[in-house]
Chain A
């Protein structure tokens, strides 16, 4: 019953957010229609960061308790999180071109997001390339923890790097602060809610799938 209710609520919120993005929210004056990418980019950035934190937290829990449940949680968050990160990166690249004038810059947040994406790809690749078992799960958790420890260092290094290599671009909005009007803010929050609901549901399905897959292989 709860599952059915969750699906119905998620579907309604999702449809409402689509209506808000395409029909209700006003078009931003400076960027035009392309600004609507915000309503996809920010929610996916949010869930991919949640996924990365969750992978690190569950990996630490797994290393501390050796309970395979936490390893399954970490793996499931990583699998769904990597897909969310791809959407975040692609939508960001598509949005950056008309607004900043380039597809990519060495900005600290962008660099960190890309490197973290690679680290979690490596985490998932390791899981599929290493013989299944307790050793693999333990090492995968260690890789996730190392990735989490490395991320603030990458961010700091990218910030110093940026001081010497300023943004190559400069688009119409480069010097302006982005101020969202109330309608845009409501639409953004609705999109964040809708993507979070879909993300949580997908992670839950993935956890169940990995649990049965693991039980079948055991």
Chain B
């Protein structure tokens, strides 16, 4: 068990070290999201009049699309240098490789989101940061990272990766996106969502189901 934790942290730190050097994932998520958020801010005459649910939709749609593009970058170097295949040859359970990728992307996504929230707060003159939204971000990021890691591995060798990955990730993430938009829009309106407990229950169940399922299936997709 201790060895597994050491291996997991080594693999995760390897990804973080690589990202600190290349900064590809951070740059993609942060720049793309800021571009989306600021484009909406510039093209709407008055950002103060944007309804809360539209504002929340802008935040989470930009996170989902920038995150799926960043996921391609996240796997690009592994595929180009054939290091993913090398990792799969290591005498470690495949689940550990899946979890290390999941945790690394979770960390990148969470840090990037803080920048996106801050940018949105500035452009739209609202405070996105609250306990509810931060908790939502953690639950959302965990689900997104697990689904993104799984499908990122799948499409790494396919043509038109960007389109295919977005088409695979976005429909499956819809329940989590609904949850995130619901909690964030209530927060932007200065309230708390009426169904917050139901939503959190649903989102956590979604995370658990998909992490368990995808961990099991990850071994099957990298069999060859």
The interface stretch among B24-32, B65-73, B111-119, B162-170 is B162-170
Contact A139 B167 (CB under 8 A): no
A115 to B173, CA, bound (A): 10
User: Which A residues are CB-close (under 8 A) to B175?
Assistant: 150, 153-154, 156-157
Q: A153-B206, A157-B175, A163-B195 are in contact. Are A129 and B220 (CB under 8 A)?
A: no
User: Which B residues are CB-close (under 8 A) to A154?
Assistant: 174-175
A46 within 8 A of B: no
Contacting residue for A160 out of B157, B159, B170, B202, CB 8 A: B202
Bin the interface of chain B by size: 35 or more
B49 within 8 A of A: no
Contact A138 B220 (CB under 8 A): yes
The interface stretch among A8-16, A67-75, A141-149 is A141-149
A163 to B163, CA, bound (A): 33
Chain A residue nearest in CB terms to B163: A125
Digitize A146-171: 1 where CB-to-B-CB distance is under 8 Å, 0 elsewhere. Answer: 11011001101110110111000000
A-B contact count (CB 8 A): 87
The residue among A143, A150, A158 with the most chain B CB atoms within 10 A of its own CB is: A150
The residue among B164, B174, B199 with the most chain A CB atoms within 10 A of its own CB is: B174
Q: A126-B164, A163-B195 are in contact. Are A156 and B172 (CB under 8 A)?
A: no
A154 to B154, CA, bound (A): 23
Contact B174 A157 (CB under 8 A): yes
Contact B182 A125 (CB under 8 A): no
B6 within 8 A of A: no
